[in-house]
Amino acid sequence: MQIDEEKCVGCGNCVPVCTMGVISVVDGRSRVNEEECVECNTCYRTLRSEDHNPTLVRAARWVLRQFRLAYDPAPDVCPTGALTPPTLTWPRSLRATFSDPTIKHPSTGTGGRGTEEIKSNDVTGRLKPGEIGFVVELGRPGLGARLRDLQTVAMALAEAGVRFEPKNPVTHLMTDTAVGILREDVLNEKVMSAIIECRAEAERAPGVLATLRRVASEIESVLSAGVAARCGPDGSVPYAEVVRASGFTLSLNAKTNLGLGRPLFEERSEPAQTSAGRA
Amino acid sequence: MTNTLHRQGTPDSLAGDYIVFLTPAGGINREGCGEKKRRFLRLALSEGPVNLGADGKNLFTGGEPEQMIAAVTDESSVAATFSDPEAVRRLVGHLKRESLGISVNISGLAEEVDGILRSHGIVRHSIEHSLGVLGRIERLPTRQVLEITTMCGHGLISHNFARKMIDWVKLGKLTPRQAGRYLARPCVCGAFNIDRAADLLTKAVEMA
């Protein structure tokens, strides 16, 4: 993020909204620690520009100070419109695509973090019976992560026998999906979060979960982990027991695909086996 | 919408927190889905959501809901957030009757959602759970802050902004609902539940 020093009046509103906590007010002007900024553009989007004249705002602050009054703008404004998203070049541009959900990933054409998961599994059949999907989000919640950390986790998961989701922006950064290695020039980039998305046969799940727990202790940030599957014919959760046996606890809340998409995967691939009973 | 997967909170608090969203499948049913997404949002709006997300705007940044809905295209992400599970139950009924043909997902208490589906004769197709947070968890803020900030799973509501709003409510500069509206602004997907945020901010002040 760029902050125009001529315009900035040092109100400090951008400091708390910064997702990475890397904006500070120095000598009456907001400054960004560029090395730690993930280019999420949240400060720019959240703070409405009032487009006031900076000289007038500074004068008003000076007058208020004489009466021992604070200049206290509403928390969702930048009084002078001092914030501007910069034009980014590779590899720094990755920071924005992985951190600003309004920007589409060039590699997949998707916004957000670019995952498939179970969101359209009823139609795509991406996760099949007997498979378990894993989503491992580096940097979440709210700390951010270097892609070097992500590579550490991806390589460990690859060794545990997972297959990486091809339609995922992280997978597109890999030079070898068999071992989970990323291209060298992106490793030092910091992002809000990035999601390794992979799957494995159910029998491999204990090994994958044990690997996840082990490798999490080797990273500088945090990771949020998730597990997904196609439900049994009665709506049962196929991974419930293996997760518990591996020492993890399933969240009480979950994401549920209702099966209302059409055509269903079975209808597209094997018309004779249409699951008319569903939904 | 992995962004709705890792919301933190007590069972009581999560009992009033549901996100319903539509996801087309690229190359299969995405083309021409814009009208179906608009229909979804209008159905959702009729059931009193606490937030809507459409094309990077939410109810607190997007202007009039109908303007937001009219701008939706095939490429737009769409979501509706509810506090009342009965509203979700009614919306599921609408969606089943209308057969929009685009995949529908609900994030919320798994058993509550399953009960809603079964009341409509629907057996869930696929499911995804959070396994929690691993790694350097000592770097994370308090649970009180995380319960607020994890309502934007893209991480756009900073821990410091939540702390500031908690402080301002404590100081009486804002009501919990006013603070919730400010906190909702960064969350572009409309997944931030300001009813729940107001409850959490109220509790934070009571605990102070």
Question: Where residue A77 sits, what CATH number does that domain have?
Answer: 3.30.70.20
- Chain A contact set for B110 (CB, 8 A): 237, 251-254, 256
Residue A156 lies in a domain: yes
Among the partner residues B108, B128, B160, nearest to A118 by beta-carbon distance = B128
Q: For residue B59, which amino acid is it?
A: L
Q: What is residue A259's three-state secondary structure?
A: coil
One-character DSSP codes across A85-134: PPP--TTTHHHHHHH-TTSPPTTTS--TT---TTTTHHHH--SPTTEEEE
d(CA B135, CA B2) in angstroms, rounded, equals 19
Token code pair at residue A212: 């996840």
Cβ B129–A221 below 8 Å, yes or no?
no
Both A154 and A247 in a single domain? yes
Q: Which residue of A has its CA nearest to B115?
A: A235
d(CA B60, CA B190) in angstroms, rounded, equals 9
**Length reported for chain B:** 208
Contact of A213 with B137, CB cutoff 8 Å: no
Both A39 and A117 in a single domain? no
Residue A37 lies in a domain: yes
**Length reported for chain A:** 279
pLDDT for B200 equals 98
Residue A104 lies in a domain: no
Among the partner residues A140, A239, A257, nearest to B155 by beta-carbon distance = A140
Contact of A224 with A140, CB cutoff 8 Å: yes
Q: Within 10 A of B75 (CB to CB), how many other CB atoms are there?
A: 15
Q: Whole-prediction pTM value? A: 0.95
Asked if the bond preceding B85 is cis, omega within 30° of 0, the reply is no
Both A58 and A189 in a single domain? no
Both A76 and A124 in a single domain? no
pLDDT for B2 equals 62
Q: To the nearest whole angstrom, how far is the Cα of B90 from the nearest Cα of chain A?
A: 14
Interface test with B, best of A146, A252, A262, A264 (most B CBs within 10 A): A252
Of A26-30, A95-99, A264-268, give the lowest mean pLDDT range: A264-268
Look-up of token digits 């901010």:
B201
Both A190 and A251 in a single domain? yes
Residue A14 lies in a domain: yes
Token code pair at residue A123: 């139609």
Mean per-residue pLDDT for B75-104? 97
d(CA B105, CA B126) in angstroms, rounded, equals 9
- Give the ipTM: 0.97
Both A77 and A162 in a single domain? no
Contact of A190 with A146, CB cutoff 8 Å: yes
Contact of A40 with B156, CB cutoff 8 Å: yes
Token code pair at residue A173: 């950064």
**How many degrees, rounded to 5, is the angle at CA B54 between CA B49 and CA B59?**
45
Mean per-residue pLDDT for A18-27? 98
The model's confidence at residue A273, banded by pLDDT at 50, 70 and 90, is very low
Both A119 and A250 in a single domain? yes
Residues facing A229 on adjacent strands: B127
Both A167 and A55 in a single domain? no
What is the pLDDT of chain A when averaged over all its residues? 94
Both A223 and A142 in a single domain? yes
Cβ B129–A237 below 8 Å, yes or no?
yes
Both A141 and A216 in a single domain? yes
d(CA B44, CA B51) in angstroms, rounded, equals 10
Q: Is the pLDDT at A271 greater than 70, yes or no?
A: no
The model's confidence at residue A41, banded by pLDDT at 50, 70 and 90, is very high
For A49-96, the pLDDT digits (tens) are 999 999 999 999 999 999 999 888 999 999 999 999 999 999 999 999
Domain boundaries, position A212:
111-273
Both A265 and A129 in a single domain? yes
Pairing assessment for the beta strands A77-78 and A48-49 based on DSSP bridges: parallel
Residues facing A133 on adjacent strands: A199, A228
Q: Is the pLDDT at B133 greater than 90, yes or no?
A: yes
The domain total for chain A is: 2
Contact of A227 with B6, CB cutoff 8 Å: no
Q: Is the pLDDT at A278 greater than 50, yes or no?
A: no
Residue A95 lies in a domain: no
The closest alpha carbon to A45, from B57, B66, B152, belongs to B57
Q: To the nearest whole angstrom, how far is the Cα of A265 from the nearest Cα of chain B?
A: 10
Distance spanning both ends of chain A, measured CA to CA: 47
d(CA A40, CA B155) in angstroms, rounded, equals 9
The model's confidence at residue B202, banded by pLDDT at 50, 70 and 90, is very high
B2-119: what fold? Alpha-Beta Plaits (3.30.70)
Cβ B6–A226 below 8 Å, yes or no?
yes
Q: Is the pLDDT at B204 greater than 80, yes or no?
A: yes
DSSP code at position A183: P
- From residue A278, alpha-carbon distances to B20, B92, B118 in Å are 19, 15, 11
Interchain CB contacts (distance < 8 Å): A and B: 305
Residue A105 lies in a domain: no
The closest alpha carbon to A262, from A117, A120, A126, A116, belongs to A120
Residue A239 lies in a domain: yes
Asked if the bond preceding A271 is cis, omega within 30° of 0, the reply is no
Q: What is residue A139's three-state secondary structure?
A: coil
Both A210 and A80 in a single domain? no
One-character DSSP codes across A46-65: HSEE----HHHHHHHHHHHH
Q: Within 10 A of B208 (CB to CB), how many other CB atoms are there?
A: 9
- Chain A contact set for B94 (CB, 8 A): none
Contact of A30 with A23, CB cutoff 8 Å: yes
Residue A57 lies in a domain: yes
Contacts of A31 (CB under 8 A, 6+ apart): A3, A23, A24, A25
The model's confidence at residue A116, banded by pLDDT at 50, 70 and 90, is confident
- With both helix axes pointing from N to C terminus, report the angle between A147-159 and A205-216 in degrees, rounded to the nearest 10: 150
The domain segmentation of chain B, as residue ranges, is 2-119, 137-207
pLDDT for A31 equals 97
One-character DSSP codes across B146-203: HHHHTTSTTS-S-HHHHHHHHHHHHTTSS-HHHHHHHHHTT-TTS---HHHHHHHHHH
